[in-house]
Amino acid sequence: MANEEKAEGGFEIHPFDQFEVKNLFNDGPVAWYSITNVTLWMALAVVCVFLLLVMSTKGRAIIPTRGQSIAELAYGFVYKMVVDVAGKDAVKFFPYIMTLFMFIVLANFLGLIPMSFTTTSHFAVTVVLALAVFITVTVVGFARNGAGFLSLFWVASAPLPLRPVLAIIEVISYFVRPVSHSIRLAGNIMAGHAVIKVFAGFAASAVIAPVAILGITAFYALEVLVAFIQAYVFTILTCVYLKDALHPHH
Amino acid sequence: MADDANSVAEASGAGMPQLDFSTFPNQIFWLIVSLGAIYYILSRTALPRIAAVLAERSGTITNDIAAAEELKLKAVAAEDAYKKALADARAEAQKIATETKAEIQADLNDAIAKADAEIAARSSESEAHINEIRESALSSVAEVAKDTAAEIVATLGGKADSAAVAKAVDARLKGGAY
């Protein structure tokens, strides 16, 4: 599509340039230890977590300041989610889930700053996040329930002849989880940013510019929503998977 | 579509940057570092602190609610005491009023009885007096009648035997002429 426009009106549209991983201080190849834009924006996310949850709660006020209110809201939001979805005994995974949520939500929002780099738009990042959840859930499931964890795949409430078929489906869906878990996040973020970039490319023409700018504005609003919702979805799915590990019986 | 892919490939050098595996170790390394840092910050400082603040707040709220409850009970007790005092005062007033009324009634009864007695005494005295007057009047009437009769008899030229005249008048008076 971008190519057609380019052919017609000479637009310069490179919606994927924004996702490039580059060295910050030299132009050489990206090694595993290089300081890249990934490093910068992940570090900014860590700094934001520090500012939001540590600096703002310094007062430990009974009547919270605005910053402390945000910190408490974030805490309450994730804590309630963990307890409601995964159960009381999942509370010891709360710091882990809170880490995932804070990282994703801040990476998503930092990515919405113009000219920024969105770390969560990369499969490398989301796949690691999703695999971490998958491995945690599997390990915890077997450690807690032993072979009983396999009853997750054996639907005892279904009629006996159906159970082997359901077991196959359950096993497949179990192993698809990390794939959907990671692609959902990266895909949503990447698509939104690419669409905004395409609209921005069209803004080069004075005729289409008003429509393009309107489109950018609308999509930006949508992306603000998506940034939060995808972080929420990732976190709540983590809780759902964790519940399977803690209580595998349907 | 193939054209499109080519143009993108030209633009970014190697297709989607997401699929450029040469940058994966870098991203994964920094992701693990960042997650570790966030986990450290959260589990060491942020989460215990926020949990403490929330617990403290809910404790304070619970205490305040308990204190408010206590004060409310005290207020209710005070109100009850006040109502009781009011009721006592009312009863006392009622009692005093009844007593006073009875006292006044007794005084009144005394006075009425006394007045009645006096009235009775006076009226009997008056009656006696009236009877006396009546008696004397009757005797006066008889006397006058006798004198008048004697006079009339004398005037008519008869010889008035005063004894006979008196007898005749008495007879007439006794005959119930009046």
CA B137 to chain centroid, in Å, comes to 69
Mean pLDDT score across all residues of chain B: 86
| Residue pLDDT, tens place only, B116-136 | 999 999 999 999 999 999 888
B30 Cβ contact partners less than 8 Å away, ≥ 6 residues apart: A36, A38, A39, A42
The DSSP secondary-structure symbol of B18 reads G
Total domains in the fold of chain B: 1
Which amino acid is present at B90?
R
| Residue pLDDT, tens place only, A52-64 | 999 999 988 888 9
* Interface predicted TM-score (ipTM) of this complex, two decimals: 0.89
* Shortest CA gap A89–chain B (Å): 17
Whether chain B has a CB inside 8 Å of the CB on A96: the answer is: yes
Which of A68, A75, A123 is the closest to B18 by Cβ? A123
Asked if A124 and B31 come within 8 Å (Cβ–Cβ), the reply is yes
Whether chain B has a CB inside 8 Å of the CB on A6: the answer is: yes
* Shortest CA gap A78–chain B (Å): 11
Calpha distance B47→A47 (Å, rounded): 16
Whether chain B has a CB inside 8 Å of the CB on A53: the answer is: yes
Q: Report the residue of B22, B31, B45, B57 to disrupt the A interface, i.e. the one with the largest count of A CBs within 10 Å.
A: B31
Structural domain spans, chain A: 2-246
Asked if A75 and B18 come within 8 Å (Cβ–Cβ), the reply is no
User: Which residues of B are less than 8 Å from A101 in CB distance?
Assistant: none
Which of B16, B26, B50 is the closest to A72 by Cβ? B50
Q: What is the mean pLDDT of residues B89-114?
A: 96
Instruction: Give the 3-state secondary structure of chain A.
Output: CHHHHHHHHCCCCCCCHHHCCCECCCCCCCCCCCCEHHHHHHHHHHHHHHHHHHHCCCCCCCCCCHHHHHHHHHHHHHHHHHHHHHCHHHHHHHHHHHHHHHHHHHHHHHHCCCCCCCHHHCHHHHHHHHHHHHHHHHHHHHHHHHHHHHHHCCCCCCCHHHHHHHHHHHHHHHHHHHHHHHHHHHHHHHHHHHHHHHHHHHCCCCCCHHHHHHHHHHHHHHHHHHHHHHHHHHHHHHHHHHHHHHCCCC
| Region of B114 on the Ramachandran plot (φ > 0 left; ψ -120 to 50 alpha; else beta) | alpha
A43-57, A138-152, B130-144, B151-165: range with lowest mean pLDDT: B151-165
Q: What is the mean pLDDT of residues A212-233?
A: 95
What chain B residue is nearest to A63 in terms of C-alpha separation? B57
Query: Residue B176 — very low, low, confident or very high, per pLDDT cuts 50/70/90?
Result: low
With H, G, I as helix, E, B as strand and everything else as coil, classify residue B15.
coil
Domain that holds residue B154: 2-174
With H, G, I as helix, E, B as strand and everything else as coil, classify residue B80.
helix
| Residue pLDDT, tens place only, A68-112 | 999 999 999 999 999 999 999 999 999 999 999 999 999 999 999
Asked if A60 and B52 come within 8 Å (Cβ–Cβ), the reply is yes
Q: How many CB pairs under 8 A join A and B?
A: 147
